[in-house]
Amino acid sequence: MDVLMTIAPWAGFLALVGVLLAIDLGVFHREAHEVGRREALVWSIVWIGLALIFNAGVYLVRGFEDGLRWTTGYIVEKSLSVDNIFVFVLIFSAFAVPAAYQHRVLFWGIVGALVMRAILIAFAGFLLSTLHFTVYLFGAFLVFTGIRFLREEQHEPDLRRSRVLRLARRIFPVTDGYRGQKFFVREHGVRYATPLFLVLIFIEMTDLAFAVDSVPAIYAITDDPFIVFTSNIFAILGLRALYFVVAGYLRSIALLRPALAVILVFVGGKMLASDFYKVHPAFSLAFIVSVLVAAVVGSALLRRREAAHPPTPAGAPGAE
């Protein structure tokens, strides 16, 4: 009976995710089409609404503190996943992916991300429970990553030099152009991958790289595997809709990357201090939300200042 009570929440959650994904691709996005900002906004509201309903259930069933931990974990993962969108934009631009096919790539990218996140979360949980010193390794890694975020500029990935791309071309012959929204086609008796499949590989590799940061970050908030997994997955499920809503606006949030760096350093510091001082979930939530709000407001003020005082062109009177 105890085993059944332990398994039931996991089975129920996985069944819910499966049904939601099936409805998404099989009903609403069966035909390839360009996802407009209005449609994406509706879907983004739907995914956030579902996350809030699930979070409310955690508050009711697990109590206030676990509910707060779920909320904080969701916001942290959602915030960090925003950085993925920058790279998605670069990948789609580099491969000139038609707008009508981008949703399909992101859908299967999310499915792959769910599997990879489950494996990483389970592995990280195993390390933290059996080798306690790894909490300090994860904490130090997050602090280092946050500092790196502050010091480094974000660069466009050099796709032509990518080892992943070269390996994929060795394994599969690749068509010279897109074949609708298909990942594979058979032509003249030969099975080809399409460029859309190569784009999918890059999307998966991008999420894997970001998961290395985000999984330790959420373990700094709670070590409850159910809260870690469900909050992580709900944040990822809404990533596709969020991409279509904000991809064009993200570049205007100039302080977003420094804000993410501060959040990573904060949660890394929590991990390093976890054996000596416990930070209350309410404070963590308030701090993270405050940093994000400050980034948005500060970026808006910078844009207003730049608009009021545009830089003087080189060679113009008064230019140094």
pLDDT in tens, 228-271: 888 888 888 887 777 777 665 655 667 777 877 787 787 777 76
Q: Give the per-residue pLDDT at 54.
A: 92
Give the N- to C-terminal CA distance of the chain in Å, as an integer.
78
pLDDT in tens, 52-97: 999 999 999 888 988 999 998 888 888 777 666 766 766 776 677 8
The average pLDDT across 281-302 equals 78
Q: Give the per-residue pLDDT at 320.
A: 45
Beta bridge partners of 104: none
pLDDT in tens, 116-148: 888 888 777 777 666 666 667 766 776 777 787
Maximum CA extent, the chain: 82
Q: Give the per-residue pLDDT at 134.
A: 63
Cα–Cα distance measured from residue 256 to residue 182, given in angstroms and rounded to the nearest whole number? 35
Single-letter amino acid, residue 63: G
